[in-house]
């Protein structure tokens, strides 16, 4: 029986090489070609006529989602989405499945020998199932429910407050990519260079499935809404009420920061509202004391474990507090937040 032929589409040369290596090591699978963008992929599809297409979500020019929609309309075929933001159950994954993808597979963030071998087995099996028709558009297996369709998420109303420095912006984006229309009420506070934050916020608005807005005075904290606090002239705090609201405060910087995570976490603790707070990777000590206060008032809290190259200031300061908290790597944070705020869990 001939091997299943796969076209790999990813704008990153390193990722194309990695997935070619993974798939060429999978039994019964051969990579017949690669492409770095939608234009190249369109030509390769016509030229090579592969059995299965693997497709990155985020690419320059036409995005992977847009190209997926085009493929389903013009030359329907099995498509597997490969991305760091398409873990099963995320808003991005559900959108991809709705558009016709047969599966969403997360890009491996670590490539030890054991993890590589496991990925070869897993992705190879998925490709074979896709080519044989066992996986149907929408992520369902023939004759059964799809593993890519997540259990229904229903927010318990817990307010999520996150603080991130420049090194934590990518993590914030991945968290919000896991959200959909039923996401928990969320405030994301940015402590980084304003120009970098503006660029990140602009990109998030165009690529994420959840409803985003700039934090303004008096807005209500409701299920399905995410407020981004990045005005360097004012702090943001939470005010209890029905519904709870954000308040913007003009006062001096705290710990050299404005807006300050200590003020945000502290206001949540004082409000008595069910809350979840998290410190993403960043420098300085802002947010450490506030997170401790939130933990003491029974709020659920976590800290991101930094990568080897990232600043450790906040992480080390939080760990020195001996708090009862979750110590999470980047890839584990989105699922943990959704698990902790799911009323159906």
Per-residue pLDDT tens for 40-66?
A: 999 999 999 999 999 998 888 898 889
- Quote the pLDDT of residue 154: 85
Instruction: Flag whether pLDDT at 128 surpasses 50.
Output: yes
> Where do the DSSP E strands lie in the chain?
4-9, 29-35, 52-56, 79-83, 103-106, 159-164, 186-190, 211-214, 225-229, 235-239, 245-249, 275-279, 300-304, 326-328
Instruction: Flag whether pLDDT at 151 surpasses 60.
Output: no
What is the chain's mean pLDDT, rounded? 86
Q: Look at the alpha carbons of 15, 89, 68, 25 in this order and tell me if their dihedral is positive or negative.
A: positive
- What's the fold here for domain 159-340? Rossmann fold (3.40.50)
CATH architecture of the domain with range 4-132: 3-Layer(aba) Sandwich (3.40)
Common-topology check for domains 4-132 and 159-340: yes
Show Cβ contacts of residue 9 under 8 Å, excluding neighbours closer than 6 positions. Answer: 34, 35, 36, 37, 38, 40, 41, 44, 53, 54, 55, 56, 59, 64, 67
Sorted by where each begins, the domain ranges of the chain are 4-132, 159-340
CA distance 132 to 135: 8
Instruction: Flag whether pLDDT at 343 surpasses 60.
Output: yes
- Quote the pLDDT of residue 142: 47
Residue 137 pLDDT level (bands cut at 50, 70, 90): confident
- Quote the pLDDT of residue 255: 92
Per-residue pLDDT tens over the stretch 219-272: 999 998 999 999 999 999 999 999 999 999 999 999 999 999 999 999 999 999
Residue 147 pLDDT level (bands cut at 50, 70, 90): very low
pTM: 0.63
């Amino acid at each position: 029986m001939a091997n299943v032929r796969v076209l790999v589409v990813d704008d990153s040369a390193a990722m194309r090489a990695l997935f070619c290596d993974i798939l060429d090591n999978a039994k019964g699978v051969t990579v017949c070609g690669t492409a770095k963008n939608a234009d190249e992929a369109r030509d390769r599809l016509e030229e090579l006529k592969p059995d299965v297409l693997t497709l990155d979500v985020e690419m320059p020019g036409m995005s992977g989602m847009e190209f997926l929609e085009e493929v389903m309309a013009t030359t329907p075929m099995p498509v597997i989405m490969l991305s760091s933001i398409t873990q099963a159950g995320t808003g991005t994954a559900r959108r991809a499945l709705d558009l016709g993808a047969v599966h969403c597979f997360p890009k491996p963030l670590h490539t030890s020998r054991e993890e590589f071998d496991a990925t070869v087995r897993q992705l190879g099996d998925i490709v074979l199932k896709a080519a044989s028709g066992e996986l149907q558009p929408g992520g369902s297996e023939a004759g059964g429910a799809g593993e890519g369709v997540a259990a229904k998420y229903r927010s318990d109303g817990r307010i999520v407050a996150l603080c991130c420095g420049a090194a934590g912006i990518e993590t914030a984006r991945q968290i919000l990519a896991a959200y959909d229309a039923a996401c928990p009420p969320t405030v994301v506070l940015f402590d980084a260079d304003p120009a970098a934050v503006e660029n990140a916020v602009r990109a998030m608005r165009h690529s994420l499935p959840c409803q985003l807005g700039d934090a303004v005075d008096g807005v209500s904290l409701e299920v399905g809404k995410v407020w981004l606090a990045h005005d360097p002239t004012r702090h943001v705090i939470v005010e209890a009420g029905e519904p709870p609201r954000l308040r913007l405060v003009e006062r001096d910087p705290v710990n050299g920061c404005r807006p300050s995570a200590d003020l945000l976490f502290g206001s949540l603790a004082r409000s008595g509202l069910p809350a979840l707070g998290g410190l993403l990777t960043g420098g300085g000590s802002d947010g450490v004391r506030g997170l401790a206060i939130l933990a003491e008032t029974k709020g659920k809290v976590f800290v991101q474990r930094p990568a080897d190259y990232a600043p450790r200031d906040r992480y080390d300061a939080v760990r020195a507090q001996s708090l009862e908290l979750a110590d999470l790597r980047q890839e584990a944070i989105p699922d943990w937040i959704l698990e902790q705020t799911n009323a159906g869990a």
